[in-house]
Structure 1
Amino acid sequence: MKPQVLCSILALAAPLAFADGIQLNLSANAQREVANDQISASLYVQQSNSQAAVLADKLNKITANGLAIGRNYGKVQLSTGSYNTWPSYDKNGKISGWQGRAEINLKSRDFAQAAELIAKLQQTMLLEGVQFGVSDEARRAAEQSMIPEAIANLKQQAEVAAKALDKSVVDIRQLDIGQQNHSFRPPVMMMKAAAAPAAESVSQPDLQPGQSQLQLQVSGKVELK
């Protein structure tokens, strides 16, 4: 798909008169649709037991096994997420047992390896959510291509304003290049299960990463005479 570039004037402040000229504060941007090339996912295990130590041991073994499986996937980054235990109470307000939850997070630019690993981890864990995004490398590349486009649009708006005021553009005295804003397309894909999965094979998820919309803004002070 050919990248879509949208440039528009965002703000035109009231002209500031100085000496024999006018100073304008202008703002413009460039937008582009970029293919998502990175996946992030979170899996968790949640169990209960009458003894806190037994519960902790089960959670630790399941997460340790998941991390061990993940080491076979060199293009997937794994890390432990939140780990919590809390008491359960009976009708009299006394502690009757314990519940616990442990998470494993993964991130990768290799969708094939990520999908295979997610399926393996789902044999003992639940999939809380999957999110697609643009990697830092792809974001930097998109920013480099949008900078000249946004600046060109700023210059064009300066020419239009100068003509309307019967002036000429002298110089851009100050130029600020803002950070990118981005939104994911499609929205975050969430999948949850109601009960703990059985220890059997799980088919791989069908990952459709979609695109994200990136935006770069520039603003500057333009001198007219």
Structure 2
Amino acid sequence: MQPLSRLTSALIFSAVGLLSLAAQADEARYNQIALRAEVSQEISHDLMHVTLYSEAQHSDPAKLAAEITRTLNSAVNQARAVKEVKVALGSRHSYPIYSENKGDDKGQDISAWRERAELRLESADFAALSKLTGEMLKQLKMGGMDFSIATATRKNHEDALLKEAVAAFQARAKLATEALGGSGYKLVSLSLNSNGFQPPMPMRMARGKGMAMMEAAVAPEIEAGTSQVTVNADGIIEVQMP
């Protein structure tokens, strides 16, 4: 029976150990408070984006594609000549134009094809991109214009806001500790999160308005606007009572 007694003792010891760990876990959560601190800043946009497009219609889809390709190649070469501007091809798609065939029960016939292709320009030099856009509107159409934050700019501002968020969390933790009559606190956990920059509202312009603005003799003043970035510090503190 001795081996059975040893096994019983071992089981009792294990149970006591588990109860002790559970008690420690409960004790670790004692006087714990969840807090949040939030800091935000308005950041000026420093990148300008312009979308231009070529659109045409032809009865022969092969000739239509060739025409669009020639126009795009010419525009790309023109944009590449301006070193301050980055150029990239955007979406390109074609679709049939139907005409009703009254003498055929099958319904409609394809009378022509229409194709549209985009060219996207980006630059931190607003004046250079505005001037180039005005020149390119002689062969392309304005699709839209919007602004954003450069990656390096975003990182620099987020790094600064992270420090501010930690300082704000520490101030709130101290305030909460004093309100509870504590003598101090221990930091249990802390997470820092950024919601990123709110996407700017794009400017959509009709061809007439876009050309009038961009083809002016003097490059127009561009108001790029701002976006807000917010950094949250979420954490748990354990208040030490006297």
User: 1:223 and 1:160 mapped to 2: Cα distance?
Assistant: 13
Instruction: Answer yes or no: is 1:216 the counterpart of 2:225.
Output: no
User: 1:215 and 1:96 mapped to 2: Cα distance?
Assistant: 54
Equivalent residue of 1:94, what SS?
Answer: strand
Instruction: Answer yes or no: is 1:148 the counterpart of 2:163.
Output: yes
| TM-score where L is the length of structure 2 | 0.78
Larger Rg computed on CA atoms: 2
| TM-score where L is the length of structure 1 | 0.83
Root-mean-square deviation (CA), in Å? 2.3
Segments of structure 1 that go 5 or more residues without pairing to the other structure are 1-15
State the Cα deviation string for residues 9-63 of structure 1 (Å, max 9, x = none). xxxxxxx973584122222221111111111111111110111011111110111
State the Cα deviation string for residues 58-116 of structure 1 (Å, max 9, x = none). 11011111100011111211100011111110012101010000000111111121111
Instruction: Answer yes or no: is 1:29 the counterpart of 2:43.
Output: no
More helix by share: 2
Residue matched to 1:3? none
Residue matched to 2:94? 85
Which of residues 133, 145, 150 in structure 2 aligns to 1:130?
Answer: 145
- How far did 1:205 drift? 4.9
User: 1:220 and 1:95 mapped to 2: Cα distance?
Assistant: 64
* Residues 145 and 204, structure 2, Cα contact 8 Å, conserved in 1: yes
**How many residues in Structure 1 have an aligned counterpart in Structure 2?**
205
Q: Which amino acid aligns with 2:202?
A: V
Q: Which amino acid aligns with 1:26?
A: L
Counting aligned pairs with the same residue, the percent is: 25
Structure 1 stretches (4+) deviating beyond 4 angstroms?
A: none
User: 2:29 and 2:55 mapped to 1: Cα distance?
Assistant: 72
TM alignment of 1:45-194, pairs within 5 A: 45-92=54-101, 93-183=108-198, 187-193=201-207
Instruction: Answer yes or no: is 1:202 the counterpart of 2:215.
Output: yes
User: 1:193 and 1:114 mapped to 2: Cα distance?
Assistant: 17
User: 1:138 and 1:168 mapped to 2: Cα distance?
Assistant: 41
Segments of structure 2 that go 5 or more residues without pairing to the other structure are 1-24, 102-107
Equivalent residue of 1:78, what SS?
Answer: strand
* Residues 79 and 104, structure 1, Cα contact 8 Å, conserved in 2: yes
